[in-house]
Structure 1
Amino acid sequence: MLCALAPDLRAALADRLDLVAPDMLPQLSPDDRKAINGAVTMAMQGAPAAMLDLLPSLRTLASCGAGLEKFDAPALEARGIALHPTPHVMTEDTADMAVALVYAVARDIVAGDAYVRSGQWKNGRRSRTTRVAGQRAGIVGLGRIGRRVADRLAGVGLKVSYHGPRAKAGVPYAYVGDIAKLAADVDFLVMTCPGDDSTKHIVNRDVLRALGPQGFLINVSRGSVVDEEALLEALEARTIAGAGLDVFAQEPVPNPRFLALSNVVLQPHASVLTDDNLRELVDEVCRILGAQLH
């Protein structure tokens, strides 16, 4: 292990792999460390050089997650280490979260729950919300996750278009080459693109201005793809209708200004926290590391 793992993930992997905790690696003898040729890490933690220095024979690194932005790819290549992310395991659950956030923000589901629990229902009905069917959704990043989100939303009656580096062949959705134009044309702007230098703050003030007071931003990508200061200003001024966020620029303690807002639904980077994901992730990590299952 190059970093700490969630307790349930660590326990499940420990049933099938001989795990060495990161704080125990320095205590192993040089020969024992040299015998280790496979390791596991979290995509959000990457592969610290200090840990790699302890493992001179490391050749295979399984990363729990789809992201690559925390890894120094040239450094891994120079060490002869093959990096294996696990993007396919993350697809369905992340797409589910994106669609769930669309409904949560449009139908104000979280506030509705609080309305009942607080006893306010007896005082009358809540204000009306937004119908989802028949609305327009723009997907930023039509990769594995983006395509699943697009298909789900189209299946419940939304008109879907998308933005990315280039148009994709064989896709039944309209391509829009400019993200601000896409934002101006949709009611839900859904972020499913990779988080790297090319997408940093791709959602900026201009894009949020184009999204407008009827538009919702959904982000299940990375916090870096959104200029959070611009987003907070838009939410506070209500120049966009709202947002559903599973990722933030700062985690696990996001900007406290989000907590004061009623027009945003917040999730703790939990898209993939399902029982199915855990089972499939363990299977995939063991496959990558060539484990003998027992």
Structure 2
Amino acid sequence: MSIDTQITGDQILRVGPVNPAVAAILADEFQTAILPAADERDAWLAENGADIRVAVCSGKIGIDTELMKKLPNLEAIINFGVGYDATDVSQATERNIPLSNTPDVLTDCVADTALGLYLDTLRGLSSAERFVRAGTWASGQNFRLATRASGRKVGILGLGRIGQAIADRLEGFGCEIHYHSRNQKDGVAYQYHGSAAELAEATEVLIVAAAGGPESAGLVNAEVIKAVGPNGFIINIARGSVIDEPALVKALQEGHIAGAGLDVFAKEPQVPAELLELENVVLLPHLGSGTVETRADMTELTINNLRSYLKDRTLVTPIS
């Protein structure tokens, strides 16, 4: 389709809830269409699906297999978020539909969250805060001893932008960094391990920072969790799908690992009830990049991707 063919607002589809600032711009500047709720969706798509040329979505919702099939003239997908595993990337590739995301702008805040989870999980800070609030300390009891956070051997599973930012922070705590990624990184001094299990075996804390999607689903399986060991910890700021959640729950219940810090889960916002009962687990509501500053940067980059595509059919941050 020619670049000279203008894309109008009714040919741009907002899919699912998106960031409020993004939603406001889509409505005010572009007057985009909005995909209706499930009970009205099929009828709407039958009438309007062929008109849609650009879809805007969040990383959580994405453009799944069935929806993409019902958008036969879709040209581009604009994704709010660094993760895009909710989108059928294989179908998009087959149909030559480019996809953008929002990398880099959220790296620091996600890495900060990982560091916070690391400290909280090893030192038991949230648990200690509940101990004080419950009046247990005032009653004369002492809080349990925790685990030293500095100077530990830490394994980073997925040494991408976020993984490297986490490593940078942990170096300030005197930690010895190890890693596993799909490929060994050139110019990286950290010790490389050939598998997730080998990484877990060699370290005391396993921080999961791998990209989501089918390729990493279940990467941290029962074997890897066992390799973490009874004195080891798991921190996950990646995707819930990367960890075999039932195996993790079982390991925590039976004391096969010392604890876990989790910002993501397999079926968000549902969290396994068993985890809610454990004091050696820190649970966060997927807030990794959730700061005012990062959301503003993500909004700007999302809208810039859309404007760029409408102008000359290029994306600022395409998925390669």
TM-score, normalising length: structure 1: 0.89
Greater mean alpha carbon deviation, residues 133-142 or residues 192-201 = 192-201
CA–CA distance in structure 2, aligned partners of residues 194 and 174 of structure 1: 20
Identity of aligned residues (%): 36
Asked whether the equivalents of residues 65 and 87 of structure 2 are also in contact (C-alpha less than 8 Å), the reply is: no
Find the partner of 1:178 among 195, 206, 213.
195
Q: Match of 1:86?
A: 102
Q: Which amino acid aligns with 1:241?
A: A
CA–CA distance in structure 2, aligned partners of residues 175 and 233 of structure 1: 29
Q: Match of 2:158?
A: 141
Q: Which amino acid aligns with 1:64?
A: F
Listed as ranges, the matches of 1:103-182 within 5 Å are 103-122=119-138, 123-182=140-199
Asked whether the equivalents of residues 105 and 242 of structure 1 are also in contact (C-alpha less than 8 Å), the reply is: yes
Question: Cα deviations across residues 205-262 of structure 1 (Å, max 9, x unaligned)?
Answer: 2222221111110011111111111111110011111000111111111221111111
Q: Match of 2:4?
A: none
Q: Match of 1:3?
A: 16
The count of corresponding residues between Structure 1 and Structure 2 is 291
SS in 2 for 1:290: helix
Find the partner of 2:111 among 95, 100, 117.
95
Q: Which amino acid aligns with 1:142?
A: L
Question: Cα deviations across residues 256-284 of structure 1 (Å, max 9, x unaligned)?
Answer: 11111111111111111110121101110
CA–CA distance in structure 2, aligned partners of residues 190 and 31 of structure 1: 44
CA–CA distance in structure 2, aligned partners of residues 213 and 29 of structure 1: 55
CA–CA distance in structure 1, aligned partners of residues 164 and 34 of structure 2: 37
Find the partner of 1:253 among 246, 262, 270.
270
CA–CA distance in structure 2, aligned partners of residues 185 and 74 of structure 1: 35
Listed as ranges, the matches of 1:1-294 within 5 Å are 1-7=14-20, 9-11=22-24, 14=27, 16-23=29-36, 34=51, 37-48=53-64, 51-52=67-68, 57-122=73-138, 123-290=140-307
CA–CA distance in structure 2, aligned partners of residues 84 and 275 of structure 1: 22
SS in 2 for 1:278: helix
Question: Cα deviations across residues 134-162 of structure 1 (Å, max 9, x unaligned)?
Answer: 11110001011111111111122111110
Greater mean alpha carbon deviation, residues 48-57 or residues 282-291 = 48-57
Q: Which amino acid aligns with 1:247?
A: V
CA–CA distance in structure 1, aligned partners of residues 277 and 205 of structure 2: 22
Task: Decide whether aligned partners of structure 1 residues 57 and 227 sit closer, same or farther in structure 2, where only a CA change above 3 A counts.
Answer: closer
Task: Decide whether aligned partners of structure 1 residues 84 and 262 sit closer, same or farther in structure 2, where only a CA change above 3 A counts.
Answer: same
Give the CA deviation at 1:112. 1.1
Question: Cα deviations across residues 4-59 of structure 1 (Å, max 9, x unaligned)?
Answer: 2244552465455433322299769979973x543310122221456546655542
CA–CA distance in structure 2, aligned partners of residues 48 and 180 of structure 1: 31
CA–CA distance in structure 2, aligned partners of residues 164 and 98 of structure 1: 18
Task: Decide whether aligned partners of structure 1 residues 31 and 261 sit closer, same or farther in structure 2, where only a CA change above 3 A counts.
Answer: closer
Task: Decide whether aligned partners of structure 1 residues 184 and 30 sit closer, same or farther in structure 2, where only a CA change above 3 A counts.
Answer: closer
Asked whether the equivalents of residues 231 and 257 of structure 2 are also in contact (C-alpha less than 8 Å), the reply is: yes
Asked whether the equivalents of residues 4 and 22 of structure 1 are also in contact (C-alpha less than 8 Å), the reply is: no
CA–CA distance in structure 2, aligned partners of residues 261 and 28 of structure 1: 45
Cα RMSD over matched residues?
A: 2.5
SS in 2 for 1:149: helix
SS in 2 for 1:153: helix
SS in 2 for 1:87: coil
Structure 1 unaligned regions, length at least 5 = none
CA–CA distance in structure 2, aligned partners of residues 208 and 78 of structure 1: 36
SS in 1 for 2:151: coil
Task: Decide whether aligned partners of structure 1 residues 173 and 78 sit closer, same or farther in structure 2, where only a CA change above 3 A counts.
Answer: closer
SS in 2 for 1:103: helix
CA–CA distance in structure 2, aligned partners of residues 138 and 32 of structure 1: 46
